[in-house]
Amino acid sequence: MKAAHWIAVAVLAAWSGSMAQAAQSGWLGAFGHVPTAYDLSPPATVTGRDGNVRTVTPNFAPAPAYPANSTVREIVRLNAAATSIRIRFSNEFSGKALRIGEAHIALAGADGAIIPGSDRLLTFSGQRGAAVPPGAPLLSDPLSWTLPGLTKLAVTVFYPEETVPPAHILFTLQAWAAPGNQAEALSLTNAAQARGGNHLSEIDIVPQTPGHTVVCFGDSITEGVGSTNGAFRGWPERLAERLQADPATRGWSVVNAGIGSNRLLHDTPSVNALARFDRDVLAVPGVEKVIVLMGINDIQYSHRFPSQAVTADEMIAALGQLVSRAHARGVRIIGGTITPFGGSGDYTAEGEAARTKVNEWIRTSGAFDGVIDFDLVTRDPLHPDQLSSALDSGGRLHPNDAGYALMGDAIDLRLFSQ
């Protein structure tokens, strides 16, 4: 019998019932794919460094609706060991109710399949389905299930009505959409890759031992854009693996709260960092620390859209606001230096000067409770304004798997033993 099957059998044997009452305290965030709004602005005309003009569609432009009677399955990973889990669905950026016909969770198999015998029905106040009001989230009932850290799960939702997918594109995750109610199917029939997945925004757990949550708050470089899709190779996922491998830090769980193209001070093409910090960081169960890596898009968009230009001092003030708001809630905040972008489409000398000034403030101001020098470990030693070519996924901005692993390895685990 293969080792993977033995693991699945062991997990199934540990499952202790579908709806035993979970503890009312001690929840931790253990997975995140935070919601945001669609970008309704028209395509932009951009002049590249080569002088060529091109039309760029916003990253979060509206996606086609899922037809009525559709099933969507999304693959996620728990970042700590659990005894109970609950799922958070989000309808927070919609103007109409979201109808969930039924939702299931199971151990993930290969290519969107689930492990036989692992499927569990999620309920909502004891009911099989739910209607989520406009602008609201929805928590499932707790489900008692003992799962090891780093377990991959499939969350499947049946939508009985035509449904607009969530705006947050699955840059690093995998999901499939299929016709009809296939929520319990081992493998989806006539499935196609889904751009936006289902409306899952967070998984919370009651951990096997009391613990804490660290939220990784940032843009596409935190989300993991440029890494292998579906492989969980971003730097927050690498941090989670390291925390779980060390008995001294195994009580820490990780939530990735990165959104591609996110900025500190402007919304489009996603909700600005200052506006979403309370929901996406401070409201996460068990949060005690947050790592912030933010600012490269403020610099890039200052070049792309001069009317939205921001200065280094304005970026520093915004980061200072995040520090103050975290400390007001008793959350420690760790600053990550902004990684290089030399050679990318929006690189300018002025932008590099701003990045250098912000990074110097992050390193030396003492505002943060710790600093991670992502810039130092990813830059080309001979060209410090550029990402090392060995770590570049293409485009001179986003790291590849090796670059993200190096970023995750650069985090001193002593930050989580204090």
Is residue 43 situated within a structural domain? no
Q: At which of 175, 201, 227 does a domain end?
A: 201
What does the pLDDT read at residue 20?
35
Q: How far apart are CA 191 and CA 50, in angstroms?
A: 40
What does the pLDDT read at residue 54?
81
Is residue 21 situated within a structural domain? no
Whether residues 156 and 227 share a domain: the answer is no
Reduce the DSSP state of residue 185 to 3 states and report it.
coil
Whether residues 223 and 131 share a domain: the answer is no
Whether residues 312 and 390 share a domain: the answer is yes
Task: Give the domain extent around 81.
Answer: 30-37+67-201
Are 412 and 243 in contact by the 8 Å Cβ rule? The answer is no
What does the pLDDT read at residue 48?
64
Whether residues 95 and 230 share a domain: the answer is no
Backbone φ, ψ for residue 125 (5° rounding): 55, 40
Q: At which of 176, 201, 226 does a domain end?
A: 201
Q: How far apart are CA 331 and CA 369, in angstroms?
A: 10
Instruction: Provide the whole-model pTM.
Output: 0.92
Whether residues 244 and 386 share a domain: the answer is yes
What does the pLDDT read at residue 49?
59
Whether residues 192 and 222 share a domain: the answer is no
Q: How far apart are CA 242 and CA 299, in angstroms?
A: 31
Whether residues 147 and 238 share a domain: the answer is no
Q: At which of 201, 225, 253 does a domain end?
A: 201
Q: Please report, in tens digits, the pLDDT of each residue of the chain (418 residues total).
A: 444 443 343 333 333 333 333 334 699 999 999 999 998 888 877 766 567 888 878 878 889 999 999 999 999 999 999 999 999 999 999 999 999 999 999 999 999 999 999 999 999 999 999 999 999 999 999 999 999 999 999 999 999 999 999 999 999 999 999 999 999 999 999 999 999 999 999 999 999 999 999 999 999 999 999 999 999 999 999 999 999 999 999 999 999 999 999 999 999 878 999 999 999 999 999 999 999 999 999 999 999 889 999 999 999 999 999 999 999 999 999 999 999 999 999 999 999 999 999 999 999 999 999 999 999 999 999 999 999 999 999 999 999 999 999 999 999 999 998 6
Whether residues 282 and 312 share a domain: the answer is yes
What does the pLDDT read at residue 3?
40
Q: How far apart are CA 31 and CA 254, in angstroms?
A: 7
CA dihedral 320, 264, 98, 20 (to 10 degrees): -40
Is residue 89 situated within a structural domain? yes
Whether residues 249 and 135 share a domain: the answer is no
